[in-house]
Structure 1
Amino acid sequence: MKIVGKTITILDEIIMEAFDMAGFGHEDVKIQEFNARIQSGKYRLPCFQRDFKWNPAKIKSLINSIQHGYPAGSLLFLEVNKDDPLIPPQEFKLADPQKFTEKPEMLVLDGQQRMTSCYHVFNNLGYYSYYINYKELMKLQKDGVEDFDFETLIVNKRHNSNPASELENGLFPISFLADRSTMRDQIKSYVNLIQTDASKSEICNFLNYTFQDIVDNILDYQFPVVKLPESSSMEAVCKVFQTINTTGLKLSVFDICVAVFMPKGINLKQRVSEAIENHSIVKKMIDKDATMVLQVVALLSNKQPNTNALAKLLDPDDITDHWDDAINGIEQALIMFDSFGAGTKKNLALLPYSPMVPIVAAVLIRIKYLNMSVPEQAAVEQKIKTYYFTVALSARYTEGTNAKIHEDFKNLRQWITNDDIPAMISYGVDWNTEKIVEYNKNGAFGKAVLTILNNNGIKDFYKNKKVGVGENIESCDLHHIFPKAKYKENYNDILVNSVFNYTWLLKDTNVYIQDERTHEYLDKIMNALDLTEKQLKKKLAAHYIDEKLYNSLYNEDFVEFLNGRAEAFKKMFIDAGVQFKEVRQDELEIENEEYEDEDEDA
């Protein structure tokens, strides 16, 4: 029979040849061999490796490739100096250190996802047990079907500590393919159990012969392994890892720093875990990129916060001296941003730029914000609010971010302490109402607009429930005020998807109004809730839809509505301290993030 699969490439041959030329060793390792070495502790992961992430779909695709004998990518190992290891090791997920009988000989730099998948599948570990639907395979073989996808025969079910119980259901546990001896013993045991049943003689013959031939590739499969010598430097290891790591999770700056500082007595992973445990507000921010903490440490240490140089620029004393302050500063910054409407306790969807966080965090620690009087704190908050919206509206951190972080930290701190207004603030934001309405909701500009809206205590059009982004707020979505379904034929996508045509609504409300014209759904809401027009206008006012804009909305004057709502938000930005500079339409270039067609869940 012919099984449909993926195209074979020569990538691994090229990789092996390249590493041979570089003087690195290589060998081929069978699945059962590396599974045994993971179990004994010989094979481990470097401390900077991230968690196992593969889902069942990826695991089944891997098993499919193995069954076909297709290349599934080479593995990259680092030989371990047992007396002076370059990188501290950690065990594979679900490998039991108490059962280790060997010291680590190899660290797996690239291949964690594939090796962990095999370790779990062939040892029946993890959330799922994996099977081959042998009855369906037998039927296909009996019917003479030559072209079929073997991957469709791979089944995952909730973990079963006794996977043999699924044999009666036509499912052969892949964990029984750990080696030939196990496979034969399990098949023999099951065949002996059912062979007295004449109706199952066909199954017995299939399992004893044809099935074993088909799965032979799995038992013989070998992964090509590249081995870096133990004499490799940390810099060389990280460089090779980033170059060849194509199937796993990309090594981040923070991962490299974890590896660099661990031998120096600084466990960054543990520090992050403790920070999240003791400061729940910072969890989402640090989960997104823990490198931010090191950037704050660098600023507090009077060093450049360039992400790619942090491992070289920082020393252990910097981290020891400033780590706690960095975490406290990030917490203070996020609390302040939430007072502007950013809603970071719920998620980071409205945060215009991540680099704003380390800048403000370091400034708050340097000026000892928490020790200030209430009036002093209020003055600081006003300046940071001006900074927050100005850099978002002017797209300041679109490029050249590393240099700007250090520059803006110094300038913002000096502005707060000496009233020296930075150029980024005094220059202001270019504005042209007719052009500005082309901004969508996805970029920094759109997020600044939504932050202002989110801070206004808005309630759903139909139900009297608070909506937006934040804690204790109903699950809701960002939806078009002029429903897209009704107006997309009259206006181009850029205007229909303008951030000024959005607000938060409950899902039920959106369904209620999405197929209506604006005056139809406004009348519908008034009739259903027995509201006067005055009462409805009051409800919409919190969404920055004043009486004039209400009339534009009701009368379906879309362009007038967008322009008027943009002006309403502009007034709020001016109240926040943002300065604007009027320009011609041709002087203002709108650079939108790629538009997401689906409405977002808040």
Structure 2
Amino acid sequence: MAKTFESGDVPLADLLNQARQGVLQLPDFQRGWVWDDGHIVSLLASISRSFPIGAVMTLETGNSEVRFRPRPLAGTPTATATTDPKYLLLDGQQRTTSLYLALRSGAPVRTQDTRKKEVERWYFADIDACIDPDTDRNEAILSLPADKRRVSSRGEVLLNASTTEAQVRAGKAGLFPLDIVLDQNATLDWQYAYLQAGQSMDQQLQIWKRFQEAVISPFLHYSVPRIALDQKTTKEAVCQVFEKVNTGGVELTVFELLTATFAAEDFRLRDDWEHRQATWADEPLLADLDATTFLQIVTLLWTRSRWEERTRERVRGDRVPAVSAKRREMLSLPLNGYQSWADAVTDTLQRVVRFLHGERIFHARDLPYSTQLVPLTAILTLLGENAFTPGPRAKLRQWYWCGVFGELYGGATDTRFANDLQDVLSWIQDDGEEPRTVRESQFQAERLLGLRTRNSAAYKGLYALVMKRGGRDFRTGETIDAKAYAADSIDIRHIFPQKWCAANGIDSGFANCIVNKTAIDGQTWGYIGASAPSKYLAALEGGVPVSPQDLDAIVTSHDIDPVALRQDDFGAVFDARYERLIRHIEDATGRQVNRGDGQGSPFSVDQSGAALARGIQALIEAGESKTVEFKSTGRKNLSTGLKDRAIEWAVIKTVAGFMNGHGGTLLVGVEDNGKVIGLEEDFTVFSKKNTDAWELWLTELLIQDLGKPATANVTVRFGTIENHTVARINVAPASEPVYTRRTKTGAKGAVFLVRLNNATHELDGPDASGYQQNRWFK
């Protein structure tokens, strides 16, 4: 590969003259000059000692593919701005500009002091201090105000260097103005005045010779190492080189580089970006969307449009350009490519907000992955409103949550952006195979125990899913939407308070993980404090106020067992919720959660035997409610002794009603009055008379009548009460409307059922539509 740079030294005077003449300018992506007074003094002291100050890097102009809008160095003559530069200064701006302002501008340097106060300064060499080998050279370089005087707090002049006459007599041996050090004629004139000022010209001459050797000669003979990149250097190389050698340690963003590139075509990218950004300034969800991310989205769409065009026109053997949002492609984005997609992306961001609000993500801090906005926005741009029709939306949701719970957007994502755009569009538009992100997604059950802060995408994802599936606002009892989220200061908060957990021997890892947290508003949190659940629930009932039944319904909507919560049973609440959260993940991703050795939650042992029976007994004693219903049997008609579709329908009706409501529990084997008769009556109509056969029948019934996705909302456990077997069927809120596939008679049909107060009702027409809008889609 041909060499694209040269290295060598350039005399300091020549470098500064190039800046003055406009031969050397800055690319527009360079930030402004920012060095303070102390930095300038130190730099001048280093050059006076012939110390190295680092290399500068320049780029030769003239490459039509690498066009940057130039701008003169600060302080150079106005006429410089109209000059076409031969070189652009990539590295060394702060040093070069500081030296130009101090040594060649002929004006005081506008800089800052140590307190960031704006000041104007001239720089002088204290001759006596400079020739003293024991004096620190930094102390020998003086910085004086614009009037070249140093005064006391009382206004007394301590040092005067305002005129040549004053300068040659200032201090012990004079103050030399460094702004003339590179001007030999001006230096000679000053030298003449200096020699005339002393009592003995011979003595003055000896001092001057020592000063000239110590300071003036180093300045006149100083050379700066320069790396000169030639015209063949690519834009990507410019960017990479700049970042590696920039002494300020500030990364050069693609946005800044493209700003300079587009400026060469009289397009102000920064102004355009700020105008666009203002259109979503009030949307909390997009608060962290920066210019580089916006350009990634635009580049992804531009490269895909280029890919489509070339694919259509492709001649066998031709190379088709890749779909990509990598740095190389972003740097190659032409102005017409930006302009062709920027408006569409800006418009689509409202669809992005709409989609994410539907998933109950309302704020930038709650976005599982901000990086996933890139492919999501690109996909929604190309799908348009079709993305919100049932089929495409379901696939889009699955892809999104697979990315979140597979934790696939936490590392290098550039390749995944392109893959997901192509894969998801093919999956939705052409019924292609599942996207790689869906296929690769995997969640380990034990990962739930490690989700403790917002640093984890899965943590934030579960927080959103609980609200999505019907978690209700504790204060109002309404489904949580964007308005309620903001108005009620809803946040991820503990169910069992940390202090209570510590006092009751609960491991902090369990106490602080997502299983023990849910979406709780600020007012409710005030009631919770450090209290036991049994106490804060009672306080809520009296303070809000809210009835125990209504509060239990709200608690249930968060996948919390209200009976166990009222009993302060951390293990029971944790175990049940652990299982429900796993089901939520499986439902959202369409992927089986990996349980490793097959074990459940760390408290699952507590839910066997006596503990499970106590929970069922507590439900029976509390009686039927908005979230609890009893059924004597699930399949057998006690009057006829035969299997009965009507009995099965009663189970389906209750389960579907709970799903479309806010969750609940169905006990089978318990009469309406609370009498336990057990599943033993049902067993008589089964060939295998055990709980395995009964659970298999129930699962097949639910799949047949409600479908597999809905059946994932159901968990079945069995307990023994009074020597009878009782089925406890916990039903989680559904993430979308659930319709039955068969009617009460067993015929094919679609019925929408919902739990209203203590009964299940069928809704249709406007009633069903209105309920669904309020429950899921507002």
Pairwise TM-score range, normalised by the shorter structure: 0.5 to 0.7
Deviation at 1:41, TM superposition (A): 7.1
CA change 1:444–1:192 in 2 (3 A) is closer
CA-to-aligned-CA distance 1:155-195 (integer Å, 9 cap, x gap): 245x6xxxxxxxxxxxxx5x335667981764637359733
Contact residue 467 and residue 506 of structure 1 kept, 8 A: no
Q: Which amino acid aligns with 1:304?
A: V
User: What is the CA–CA distance in structure 1 between the aligned matches of 2:534 and 2:95, rounded to whole Å?
Assistant: 57
CA change 1:503–1:85 in 2 (3 A) is same
Write out aligned runs for 1:20-419 (5 A): 23-26=6-9, 44-49=25-30, 74=54, 76-79=56-59, 81=61, 86-89=66-69, 91=71, 103=83, 107-110=88-91, 130-131=112-113, 154-156=114-116, 175-177=120-122, 183=144, 186=147, 188=149, 190=151, 194-195=155-156, 226-229=226-229, 231=231, 233-235=233-235, 236-245=237-246, 247-258=248-259, 268-269=269-270, 271-278=272-279, 284-287=288-291, 289=293, 290-302=295-307, 303-311=322-330, 318-343=337-362, 346-347=363-364, 349-367=365-383, 369-370=384-385, 372=386, 377-399=389-411, 401-419=413-431
Q: Which amino acid aligns with 1:155?
A: R
Deviation at 1:385, TM superposition (A): 1.5
User: What is the CA–CA distance in structure 2 between the aligned matches of 1:500 and 1:465, rounded to whole Å?
Assistant: 20
Deviation at 1:310, TM superposition (A): 0.4
CA-to-aligned-CA distance 1:227-247 (integer Å, 9 cap, x gap): 535546234433321322353
The total of aligned residue pairs comes to 496
User: What is the CA–CA distance in structure 1 between the aligned matches of 2:358 and 2:95, rounded to whole Å?
Assistant: 44
CA change 1:130–1:467 in 2 (3 A) is farther
Q: What is the aligned-residue identity percentage?
A: 16
CA-to-aligned-CA distance 1:298-338 (integer Å, 9 cap, x gap): 22332321403305765565445444334444543343223
User: What is the CA–CA distance in structure 2 between the aligned matches of 1:267 and 1:342, rounded to whole Å?
Assistant: 34
Question: In structure 2, what is the equivalent of residue 138 of structure 1?
Answer: none
Contact residue 300 and residue 362 of structure 1 kept, 8 A: no
CA change 1:29–1:413 in 2 (3 A) is same
CA-to-aligned-CA distance 1:50-94 (integer Å, 9 cap, x gap): x5698xxx9799689769969997464425648989542355899
Q: Which amino acid aligns with 1:299?
A: R
Write out aligned runs for 1:505-520 (5 A): 513-520=528-535
Counterpart secondary structure, 1:396: coil
User: What is the CA–CA distance in structure 1 between the aligned matches of 2:344 and 2:426, rounded to whole Å?
Assistant: 20
- Which segment is superposed worse, 413-422 or 560-569? 560-569
Q: Which amino acid aligns with 1:442?
A: N
Q: Which structure has the higher relative contact order (CA within 8 Å, separation 6+)?
A: 1
Whether 1:579 aligns to 2:583 is: no
Residue of 498, 514, 517 corresponding to 1:502: 517
User: What is the CA–CA distance in structure 2 between the aligned matches of 1:514 and 1:72, rounded to whole Å?
Assistant: 62
Q: Which amino acid aligns with 2:511?
A: V
Contact residue 28 and residue 68 of structure 2 kept, 8 A: yes
Contact residue 86 and residue 234 of structure 1 kept, 8 A: yes
Q: Which amino acid aligns with 1:272?
A: W
Residue of 449, 462, 466 corresponding to 2:462: 449
User: What is the CA–CA distance in structure 1 between the aligned matches of 2:150 and 2:238, rounded to whole Å?
Assistant: 48
Residue of 455, 470, 484 corresponding to 2:498: 484
User: What is the CA–CA distance in structure 2 between the aligned matches of 1:428 and 1:569, rounded to whole Å?
Assistant: 20
User: What is the CA–CA distance in structure 2 between the aligned matches of 1:402 and 1:537, rounded to whole Å?
Assistant: 46
Q: Which amino acid aligns with 2:594?
A: V
CA change 1:183–1:256 in 2 (3 A) is closer
Contact residue 501 and residue 511 of structure 2 kept, 8 A: yes
CA change 1:27–1:504 in 2 (3 A) is farther
Residue of 449, 471, 475 corresponding to 1:437: 449
Contact residue 534 and residue 566 of structure 2 kept, 8 A: yes
Counterpart secondary structure, 2:592: strand
User: What is the CA–CA distance in structure 1 between the aligned matches of 2:74 and 2:474, rounded to whole Å?
Assistant: 47
CA change 1:585–1:184 in 2 (3 A) is closer
Question: In structure 1, what is the equivalent of residue 638 of structure 2?
Answer: none
User: What is the CA–CA distance in structure 2 between the aligned matches of 1:108 and 1:383, rounded to whole Å?
Assistant: 50
CA change 1:451–1:83 in 2 (3 A) is closer
Counterpart secondary structure, 1:24: strand
Return 5+ residue gaps in structure 2 as ranges.
126-141, 159-169, 182-214, 308-321, 600-778
Contact residue 25 and residue 73 of structure 2 kept, 8 A: no
User: What is the CA–CA distance in structure 1 between the aligned matches of 2:64 and 2:423, rounded to whole Å?
Assistant: 45
Question: In structure 2, what is the equivalent of residue 10 of structure 1?
Answer: none
CA change 1:22–1:469 in 2 (3 A) is farther
Contact residue 26 and residue 88 of structure 2 kept, 8 A: yes
User: What is the CA–CA distance in structure 1 between the aligned matches of 2:524 and 2:53, rounded to whole Å?
Assistant: 50
CA change 1:525–1:91 in 2 (3 A) is farther
Counterpart secondary structure, 1:248: coil
User: What is the CA–CA distance in structure 1 between the aligned matches of 2:435 and 2:60, rounded to whole Å?
Assistant: 53
Contact residue 533 and residue 568 of structure 2 kept, 8 A: yes
User: What is the CA–CA distance in structure 2 between the aligned matches of 1:398 and 1:261, rounded to whole Å?
Assistant: 32
CA-to-aligned-CA distance 1:469-504 (integer Å, 9 cap, x gap): 998545565433333355358455543332233345
Contact residue 467 and residue 479 of structure 2 kept, 8 A: no
CA-to-aligned-CA distance 1:28-53 (integer Å, 9 cap, x gap): 869xx98x99999777542334x569
Question: In structure 1, what is the equivalent of residue 707 of structure 2?
Answer: none
Deviation at 1:249, TM superposition (A): 2.3
| Cα root mean square deviation, aligned | 5.4
Q: TM-score, normalised by structure 2?
A: 0.51
Contact residue 454 and residue 469 of structure 1 kept, 8 A: no
Deviation at 1:585, TM superposition (A): 2.8
Contact residue 330 and residue 357 of structure 1 kept, 8 A: no
Q: Which amino acid aligns with 1:295?
A: L
Return 5+ residue gaps in structure 1 as ranges.
1-20, 132-153, 160-172, 198-207, 589-602
Q: TM-score, normalised by structure 1?
A: 0.63
CA change 1:337–1:186 in 2 (3 A) is same
User: What is the CA–CA distance in structure 2 between the aligned matches of 1:118 and 1:471, rounded to whole Å?
Assistant: 55
Contact residue 5 and residue 228 of structure 2 kept, 8 A: no
CA change 1:317–1:529 in 2 (3 A) is closer
User: What is the CA–CA distance in structure 2 between the aligned matches of 1:400 and 1:266, rounded to whole Å?
Assistant: 32
